[in-house]
Amino acid sequence: MLYNKIALAGLIAASITVPAYADALGATVGVQAWKSNASGGFANTSDLVSFSFNEETTTSLYAKFEHPLPFIPNIRLRNGSLEAAGKTRLTKEFVFEGKTYAANADVTTNLDFTNTDFTFYWELLDNDLVGLDFGITAKYLSGEFDVSDVNDATNTSSEDASLWIPMAYVGAKVAVPLTGVFAYGDINMVSYDDNSVHDYEVGVGYSFVDNFAIDVSVTAGYREVSIEINDVDDLFANIQFDGYFVGLEAHF
């Protein structure tokens, strides 16, 4: 039932999209290094426990493929990870996957998820100054939540989780004429019942190679990922990842 509701949100986003198309074949590949802070918590019930996490640096890769065929969407693929680890002193008893952690116990937590986006989009505007895209994204999250008692190596618990999330997608880009400088932003988001997920970034870039064969740009900006889920496979979580990134991309 939850999946049906989130899928409906994605289909509604697709239905309001106005098809457009690129004037030529093109491809973009890029890489980003993201220094993120995580905050929030998780549990097997709605009584969430908040944890402390250390700052992490992760890498993501992405590629876009555009074509001049009308009505058929362009494709954007992105693969990275959501990682967080830290040590927390519990303020109350915590039960996770059948294991009990006493109040005032020191526990380590580790979150390690693969975060893959498959985006299908149409270009509403596509010129040298302004770009605007609309579409849908299928986000796939797969990984695990680990908890361990610092003072009892036998008291550990782990829960695997994987989830497909259809989301609405919007992307925009504005260039400053004759400078190679541009600003951009994109967002994937969905909300249903008491669950919501968003993944957005905003940034600026500079094209230091710009010719008929290839454009190469450096980028920098801010990204935030927020995941709030309630009773999905007996898992409740409200976790945010946010921080600054730098990147490099090439357009052919």
Compute the average pLDDT of residues 16-41.
81
Q: What is the pLDDT of residues 122-137, one digit of tens each?
A: 999 988 899 999 999 9
Q: Are 224 and 198 in contact (CB under 8 A)?
A: yes
**101 belongs to a structural domain:** no
Residues 6+ apart with CB under 8 A from 153: none
Asked if 72 and 53 count as a contact pair (C-beta separation under 8 A), the reply is no
CA distance 70 to 161: 38
Q: Is 33 in contact with 57 (CB distance < 8 Å)?
A: yes
20 within some domain: yes
Does some domain include residue 240?
Answer: yes
Indicate the pTM of the whole model: 0.88
Is residue 46 in some structural domain? no
How confident is the model over 83-90, as a mean pLDDT?
Answer: 97
Which range (2-6, 66-70, 174-178, 186-190) has the least confidence? 2-6
Question: CA distances (Å), 116 to each of 49, 76, 165, in order?
Answer: 27, 11, 10
Give yes or no for residue 11 having a pLDDT over 90.
no
Domain ranges, residue 75: 2-38+55-81+112-147+163-251
Number of domains in the chain: 1
Q: What is the pLDDT of residues 197-228, one digit of tens each?
A: 999 999 999 999 988 889 999 999 999 999 99
How many whole angstroms separate alpha carbon 119 and alpha carbon 134?
10
Does 158 reside within a domain?
no
Q: Output the domain CATH number for residue 20.
A: 2.40.160
Position 212 scores a pLDDT of: 85
Return the pLDDT at 128. 87
| Mean pLDDT value across residues 75-95 | 97
